[in-house]
A = this chain, B = another copy of it.
Amino acid sequence: MSNHPRNVISPGRGQNLTYSIVQDLGIAVVTGKYSGKNPFPVEADLCKQYGASRSILREAVKMLTAKGLLGARPRQGTWVQPEESWNLFDPDVMRWLLERKFSLSLLIEFTQIRLAVEPAAAAMAAMEAGPGEKAAIERALNRMIAAEHGEDDPLTSDIAFHISILRASGNRFYAQLRELIETALRFSIRTTNRVKGVRLASVNDHKKVSDAILKGDAAGAEAAMRDLIEEALHLIRKGEGIDAKGERVLLAPARASRR
């Protein structure tokens, strides 16, 4: 029980004023609202813009600073840091980018990370997973089977499967990719669905990974996982062909923004 895909806010983030401003400012920054001719506003102007107190704005700016998006100095003001210092591995930053400034190239680059990491994680899981972790992988696979019969959500169960393997690897850094992969998967699936009507990878391909891990076959698990993600990467790249002029947006899920 207990696991609905909590879109819900984890403790700490929340529905309060500070966090909505962090969201809004964060999105504004990553979408380039404050670049070039439009410099980042001074404290006082932000207060007016959001109708909030200086404390709140300062705290919001500090949080974005902690994520590498902003910098500040007396007299010089607050500025947007160059993109290469944004902390892309921060789940918020990644989500803002994918949701609001979706670019296939970013999704591709992240999938390349997955292609490097997940096969290695599968191999490690095959060698080192304990009984509990193996059981979790099996459960996740069963959810995928259930999803095939319409008894569970295909996307959610797919995500759960990949995550169960990352956890089973026993490597904390791998496990940290959880939120990122969750975000990215939701978008890559959406993309590929739109583009070609392609469905999720077959349960059978996932079963190959799971089987190899459960019988301790590291090389097999690694190869099977690599196939899985290479397939995903291909689908994403196919999507890219449609919009031929570079790396631009394919779909940009718009949501009503608060006011």
Contacts and interface: CB of A to CB of B under 8 A. Distances in A.
Number of chain copies forming the complex: 2
Interface in A61-81: 62-67, 70-73, 81
A109 interface: yes
A87 interface: yes
A223 interface: no
A85 interface: yes
A87 B176 contact: yes
Question: Which of A12, A71, A117 has most chain B Cβ within 10 Å?
Answer: A12
A113 B117 contact: yes
Given A62-B62, A66-B67, A112 B85 contact: no
A172 B110 CA distance: 9
Q: How large is the interface on A (under 10, 10 to 19, 20 to 34, 35 or more residues)?
A: 35 or more
A171 B109 contact: yes
A contact patch SS: helix
B173 A88 contact: yes
A11 B71 contact: yes
B113 A171 contact: yes
A54 B119 CA distance: 47
Interface in A205-244: none
A58 interface: yes
A27 interface: no
A155 interface: no
